[in-house]
Amino acid sequence: MIVLRNISKIFDHGKAPITAVDKVNLSVEQGQIYGIIGYSGAGKSTLIRLLNGLEKPTSGNVTVNGHDISAAKGEALRQARLKISMVFQHFNLLWSRTVSENIAFSMQIAGTPKAEIRTRVAELIELVGLTGRENAYPSQLSGGQKQRVGIARALANSPDVLLCDEATSALDPQTTDQILDLLLDINRRFSLTIVLITHEMHVVRKICDRVAVMEDGRIVEEGDVLSVFTHPQQPITRQFVRQVSQYAEEEAFNQELASDLTGHVIKLTFTGHSTHKPIVGELTLRYGLPFNILHGKMNQTAHGVFGQLWVHVNATQDQLSNILADLQQSGIESEVIKHG
């Protein structure tokens, strides 16, 4: 669906050239929700503008649904853009137009017949949950309602790809979750490919299938969300993972363990079906040892649950080795945080 091959974008405004995107390779499959996360200045906004031809790459090429966006010009580019819509952080609504008129605007530009526009607008208003607000102006809407209008407008021409540029950054946490639920529902109903950029790991965890982490114009880590959350490889990725509140507790908790307990402390990581196994009870029965549960947490992603559990046990070295082997056999990852 979307393929970026060795894409670079260098801005040269007479001073020292700025490399905003540096040799990026990326693939997004049809129907995926793909997250691109990075701090300000990482290059993610430039990258998303390369996807719809608002920026042209200095080198490399961008292909979207079989169209070479990086090479397209004039009418070919305009036609390609009709199938690549964008949702913006600050809504970008026309303040002198009503909800219905904002949604209809892109269809009017595309030359869609009036009767078809009316039908499509009514469908989209119901889809995004704005029934009864058809004649309201943007100044009369909440932030979440404005973004719903933005999403409906972006869907008006039945795009193949929806780009979301920090679409929830201006919203409170509750409204953010509602908008993310809406995007997830749209993705599942229509198999719409969604690429979203964000600096919030909660957004990635809640709805994305895969995620790319950007730093200094490069993708430094990429993978399915569950793997990136449970095994972050790069320091910046670990920083983003810690944004989710439970992870902020982990470092302080580990430090306390190191000083306060004797015996072994084992960190268990569960994914998928293994989260439902009564593993502590099974270990207690098998080895006749008391396993003390010290700390635990569960997290939900779009592709399943993962959890972590810290247990304490006084065991011999041989028993510990057997316990770790049993955990591995059960599909549960383990790490000895503290040796007795």
208 and 229 fall within a common domain: yes
State how far the Cα of 176 lies from the Cα of 173, in Å rounded to an integer: 5
The answer on 236 and 303 residing in a single domain is no
| Count of domains forming the chain | 2
Same domain, 69 and 98: yes
Give the residue from 195, 224, 241 where a domain finishes: 241
Residues 45 and 139 in one domain: yes
Identify the domain containing residue 151 by its residue range: 2-241
In the chain (340 residues long), the average pLDDT of successive 10-residue segments reads 94 86 95 95 93 93 90 85 90 95 93 95 97 96 96 95 93 93 94 94 92 96 90 90 60 54 83 70 87 78 75 88 87 81
Domain limit, last residue, from 214, 241, 268: 241
Sequence-distant (6+) residues with CB within 8 A of 30 are 1, 191, 193
Predicted structure pTM score:
0.82
Model pLDDT, residue 248: 45
Q: What per-residue confidence (pLDDT) applies to 7? A: 95
Domain termination site, one of 175, 206, 241: 241
- Give the pLDDT of residue 275: 59
What pLDDT does 254 receive?
54
* 210 and 106 within one domain: yes
Pairing outcome for strands 264-271 and 333-338: antiparallel
